[in-house]
Chain A
Amino acid sequence: MGNITNSDMNPEIKKNSIIRLFNVSKRYNGKFALKDINLDIEPGEFIFISGPSGAGKSTLLKVLYLAEKVSEGQILIDGMNLARISSSRLPLLRRRFGMVFQDFKLIPNRTVYENVALVLEAAGEKPDYIRKKVMQVLRTTEMDKKAKALPPTLSGGEQQRVAVARALVGEPSIILADEPTGSLDAKSAQAVLDFIMEYHKKGATVLVASHNLHLLESSVRGRNIEITEGTIKRTATML
């Protein structure tokens, strides 16, 4: 599928990358949120995106699932060129991702269960499977007892866990988690991260964006990509 063969020119880029960014820039009203990003992520990698507020962490995740279009450059997901993806195939692309949004994006007048089930309903799964799978994911995130609750009645940490449950329920190959431990205390943050790590161990590629560097101490083996003002400042392999 992938017809860009930069790997021939650049031996550092591996052929089996699941995510590739070539000179990606994103401008909002002329101002760069991302500037000339080159990135190559292998399947099963754990990527930690750090950097100060406003650095472009969220923007980097958003261009991956096409919530935002890049201003310049190319992105390949599993060999698919995002610039060429048709609107009818966009949903299929997005089903490869499990997203934890920085602002959760839980639907307030739908129950916890309904919020999580939505992903599988959208993918056209059978009702029996949906019921089984949603309850299973809610159990692993310890939210099964609140399945009938509405999001506004939950604490921040509980909402965060629902958001993670929703990201995992579709068994995506890539997890994009934007500030998944945002406003949580250390214990809750660790719990949420553990859910994601658990899923990562099954082979999923995970990208976590956070300015909370303490998360790095939690025995994560992966890469830390530090961005400031839209450019990659430093890449470090952790542990």
Chain B
Amino acid sequence: MSPFIKKALTDIRLNRFLNLVTIFTISLSILVVSVFMLFFENAGRVIEAWNQGGRAMIYLKDNFTMDMLPELKDRINSLGNIQGLVFISKDEALDRLKKEISSSSAFLKTLQGNPLPDALEIQMTSYNSLEEVEAFAEKIKRIEIVDDVEYGQGWLGKFLKIFNLFKITGYAMCGLFFLVALFITSNTVRLAFYSRKLEVEVMRLVGATETFIKAPFYVEGLLQGFIGGVLGLAILLITYLMFSSGMTQGLSSYIYFDVRFLSIKTMGLIIFGSTFLGWFGCYLSLKQILR
């Protein structure tokens, strides 16, 4: 084991209380951050699932005739991002409707003629955001014969707006907790430094380089960040496991998507982030203390 790591472990042991408080603060912050991450990851996945396929319906005006179809197809295709394009005539649409609703339905019997429009069902290939889909729909709408385009903008858009609001709140909270953890960490390092003032002085006098003097503090900061991060995630995981095992009997029948735990990548990112936090807190306070 590197002498610096050994030294840092001894120091953590000597300053038990201070280090416990710091690690606890970091893990709490990481917990808050990872709860948000958990929410975002799952919500993101759900939205993606709902959005999957990128289906849109293009409703055509009454004066549409079949000989217009090839030209219309060409125009839509030229706008790009189209994977599939299927024409559904008003008669087909009515047939489908009849199949879906029981044919004996009184509602259909009272129907005079066919009120449904001709339509094109399109499948978009690549789109990243709702904005892109929106822009694309706008372009299609500008074609004269097109009456309207429907792509679930109503509820999905609203949901996305709420989701984005959550996201902003989440980022703000994460940032706030990051700052709090950073403040606590840098203060711990400062206190640790002052509690070892004599040691630092002696090290300098016997010819230790600044790197040698600082290294244990950095190792300590990194360890605190790392342990704090792992602890925070562990608390979340335990809570998650407790909830999800209870949910399979109770809630799962109401919630039709499963809440998945954070991906390995996100967990790695969180632990990396908290380790960085420990390092950065150390860097800040040492920069302030030493010259």
Interface residues of chain A, those whose CB is within 8 Å of chain B, are 65, 67, 87-88, 91-95, 97, 99, 101, 105, 107-110, 118-119, 121-124, 127, 166, 170
Chain B positions within 8 Å of A107 at CB level = 198-199, 202
CB pair B14–A105 under 8 Å, yes or no, is no
B143 at the interface (CB under 8 A from A): no
CB pair A105–B201 under 8 Å, yes or no, is yes
B209 at the interface (CB under 8 A from A): yes
CB pair A65–B205 under 8 Å, yes or no, is yes
Which of B180-228 touch A at CB < 8 Å? 198-199, 201-210, 212
Chain A positions within 8 Å of B207 at CB level = 91-95, 97, 119, 122-123, 170
Chain B positions within 8 Å of A65 at CB level = 205
B3 at the interface (CB under 8 A from A): yes
Shortest C-beta distance, A38 to chain B (Å), equals: 26
The 10 closest A-B pairs by CB, nearest first: A122-B208, A95-B207, A94-B207, A91-B207, A119-B206, A107-B199, A91-B209, A105-B202, A122-B212, A122-B206
CB pair A91–B201 under 8 Å, yes or no, is no
Chain A positions within 8 Å of B201 at CB level = 105
Chain A positions within 8 Å of B198 at CB level = 105, 107-108
Chain B positions within 8 Å of A110 at CB level = 199
Known: A109-B14, A121-B3, A122-B212. A67 touches B205 (CB 8 A): yes
Task: Give the complex CA separation of A107 and B204 in angstroms.
Answer: 13
What residue in chain A is nearest B11 (Cβ atoms)? A109
Chain A positions within 8 Å of B14 at CB level = 109
What residue in chain B is nearest A121 (Cβ atoms)? B3
Task: Give the complex CA separation of A121 and B212 in angstroms.
Answer: 9
Shortest C-beta distance, A187 to chain B (Å), equals: 28
**B205's contact among A92, A94, A108, A121, by CB below 8 Å, is which?**
A94
Task: Give the complex CA separation of A237 and B209 in angstroms.
Answer: 38
Chain A positions within 8 Å of B210 at CB level = 87
Shortest C-beta distance, A57 to chain B (Å), equals: 17
What residue in chain B is nearest A123 (Cβ atoms)? B207
CB pair A118–B205 under 8 Å, yes or no, is no
A–B pairs, 26, beta carbons within 8 Å:
A65-B205, A91-B207, A91-B208, A92-B207, A93-B207, A94-B204, A94-B205, A94-B206, A97-B207, A99-B206, A101-B205, A105-B201, A105-B202, A107-B199, A108-B198, A109-B14, A118-B202, A118-B208, A119-B207, A121-B3, A121-B212, A122-B203, A122-B209, A123-B207, A127-B3, A170-B206
CB pair A166–B206 under 8 Å, yes or no, is yes
Task: Give the complex CA separation of A177 and B159 in angstroms.
Answer: 77
CB pair A99–B205 under 8 Å, yes or no, is yes
Chain B positions within 8 Å of A94 at CB level = 204-207
Chain A positions within 8 Å of B209 at CB level = 88, 91, 122
Known: A91-B209, A105-B198, A107-B198. A118 touches B203 (CB 8 A): yes
CB pair B205–A105 under 8 Å, yes or no, is yes
Chain B positions within 8 Å of A122 at CB level = 203, 206-209, 212
Chain B positions within 8 Å of A92 at CB level = 207
